[in-house]
Structure 1
Amino acid sequence: MGGSRQFSGIRRGVVLALAMALVGTLSQCAQPMPAGTSPVAIRHSTTEAREPTATTVPTRSAGPVSTTTATRTATPRRATTATPPRKPAPDPPSWEVVRVVDGDTIHVSRDGVVVKVRLIGIDSPERDECGFEASVGNLRRVIGGRQVTLLPGARTSSDQYGRLLRYVEAGGSDVGLAQITSGYAVARFDSRDGYGEHPREAAYVAADRASPDRGWLCATPVPVRPQTGWPLPGDEHPCPRGQPVKGNESSMIAHSPGQQSYLVTSPEQCFATLSDAVAAGFRPAKR
């Protein structure tokens, strides 16, 4: 008897729940229920229309049956890819300075290999030119017998003489910039004279302009080679005979009679001696 009463109670609860669902559906629908449609079908169709992702789960209890609606929403998971850590760039190899040729050229050695290196973006006096010894002496003090690193930066890897074109650093300091700052080299062989811009050009040019003494001055005046006739044969742009040294302002180079480019140089200024030209800020031509 007890089991029959419990079963009757459950059945009455189910009927009551269906009746309540039917009343709710009828109150929300404006149109009358079609003939022959069961309350269960109406409840199912209405629930599916309103909540496509809802699932109705009947929960049994000792009393009337209640319904609980749970909505499950699928959340897509993003695939994550672990990024491997970047390996730090290896440090450039060190080279030993074995010879200082002049103020802008050195020989370095590593693993038994000796190479000749031309510092990028600077120019210093050649042998027998004014300021040569001072420029070489300063460079020897900076890097002589030390370990240096070579860094690329020029438009080409080497020059026409087979010398590597490199920035040279010693102890993290730019050796070429130090030569300019100290007045023993000038900024040259860059975009201003057709050799292409290099990454440190702006710093080099600024240091060159700020340098108080470029080291080109000599202790004694440099005489001009005497000439018999004037102007010289083939001279396209002659200076006065009393001021034969030609100063080219675009390159700030002074050309003396007898040098390679003298006859074709168009001067903006003319000087009596090379020392006068150097005092005005020009540097002697190499050839």
Structure 2
Amino acid sequence: MNIFLKEKKIIFGSLLVLFVGVLVWTHFSNDITNKQANTDNIQNKQVDSKDSKKDASGSGAVSNTNLNPNSESKPEPIFYPIDRVVDGDTVAVNMSGDAMLVRIIGIDSPEVDSDYTEQECFGAEASAKLKELLTDKTVRMEYDTNQGMLDKYGRLLAYLFLEDGTNVGGYMIDNGYAREYTFDSLYMYQKEFRDAEHVAREQKLGLWAPDACAKQNEIK
């Protein structure tokens, strides 16, 4: 009887140890599985993060550069050859093979002798200066919405600029070969031209010089 009880206790104890062992192993296995899953999640997140950074600094950056409006090239300005100089404020510009008369906005120079006008004081000098400035040159034309496209004689109305940025009308006033001229309404460079004439008058340049004209010292 005692032997039977001892054997039963041994068997029960063995089963208890086995049961506890199974529980411990199951818990340990689950813990390892969870840790591995967490590790995999962390690694996946790190990979995703690296891929995102790569996209941001790689192909994404190229797209951003392409979409940057500042990276788009601006259209090149068009420069036209000078066909001839008519007088100190009018030229003919070669536009696609046609010589188009252009009246420079905002200036008035003395007239030269022609079929339509009589020679005025300092007219020849003004015409010669404009020829000197524009011979073998090209110009960019800038229009003014306040002045319209054509004058009553059918001439284009525009400001002229050399390739170095020189404002042709401003140059003529600066050096005393033309005066500021407002026809009917305000124009874009009116203040600059008026200021330039004021300086030329004070410095007695060109047509403003006391001895510029023997009989006439004023532009009509």
TM-score, scaled to structure 1: 0.50
RMSD: 3.9
Which residue does 2:215 correspond to in 1?
221
Select the residue among 96, 110, 125 that pairs with 1:125.
Answer: 110
The structure with the largest strand share of the pair is 1
Change (3 A) 1:161 1:3: farther
More displaced, 144-153 or 113-122? 144-153
Sort the Cα spacing of 1:221 and 1:130 in 2 relative to 1 into closer, same or farther, 3 A: same
Q: 2:197 aligns with which of 198, 208, 211?
A: 208
Confirm or deny that 1:159 pairs with 2:151: yes
- State the alpha-carbon separation in 2 of the partners of residues 114 and 9 from structure 1: 102
In structure 1, the residue matched to 2:178 is 185
- Shift of the 9–154 alpha-carbon distance from structure 1 to 2, 3 Å rule, reads closer
Correspondence for 1:274: none
Return the alpha-carbon distance in structure 2 between the equivalents of residues 60 and 109 of structure 1: 87
Could you report, residue by residue, the CA deviation over 1:199-223 in whole angstroms, capped at 9, with x for unpaired residues?
x22222211111122415644224x
Matched residue, 1:284: 219
**Cα distance change of structure 1 residues 203 and 284 upon mapping to structure 2, 3 Å threshold:** closer
| Contact 1:131 1:215 survives alignment (8 Å) | yes
User: Residue 98 of structure 1 aligns with which residue?
Assistant: 83
Separation (CA, whole Å) in 1 of partners of 2:187 and 2:95: 29
Q: Percent identity?
A: 25
RCO higher in structure (CA 8 A, sep ≥6): 2
1:169 deviates by: 1.5
The count of corresponding residues between Structure 1 and Structure 2 is: 175
Give the 3 Å change call, closer, same or farther, for CA 123–9 of structure 1 in structure 2: same
Hey, what's the Cα distance between the residues in 2 that align with 1:115 and 1:122? Answer: 19
Higher helix share: 2
Unaligned runs of 5+ in 2: 1-13, 43-51, 113-118
Residues 8 and 131 of structure 1: is their aligned pair in 2 closer, same or farther, counting only changes over 3 Å?
closer
Q: Is the 8 A contact 1:98 1:108 kept in 2?
A: yes
Report the Cα distance in structure 1 between the residues aligned to 2:170 and 2:120, rounded to whole angstroms: 21
Q: Distance in 1 between matches of 2:150 and 2:186?
A: 13
- State the 1:84 CA deviation: 5.0
8 Å Cα contact 2:122-2:213 kept in structure 1: no
1:5 to 20, 26, 29: 20
Per the alignment, residue 150 of structure 1 pairs with 141
TM-score, normalisation: structure 2: 0.64
Partners of 1:106 and 1:203 in 2: CA distance = 22
Match among 94, 101, 107 for residue 92 of structure 2? 107
| Counterpart mapping for 1:260-271 below 5 A | none
Question: Contact 2:109–2:177 at 8 Å: present in 1 too?
Answer: yes
Change over 3 Å in CA distance of 1:188–1:115 after alignment to 2? same
Question: Contact 1:154–1:166 (CA<8 Å) still a contact in 2?
Answer: no
Q: How far 1:115 moved relative to its partner?
A: 0.5
1:59 maps to which of 31, 53, 59: 31
Gaps of 5+ in 1: 15-57, 223-277
Deviations 1:144-196 (A, max 9, x none): 2322221223521222222111111223211111101110011112xxx6322
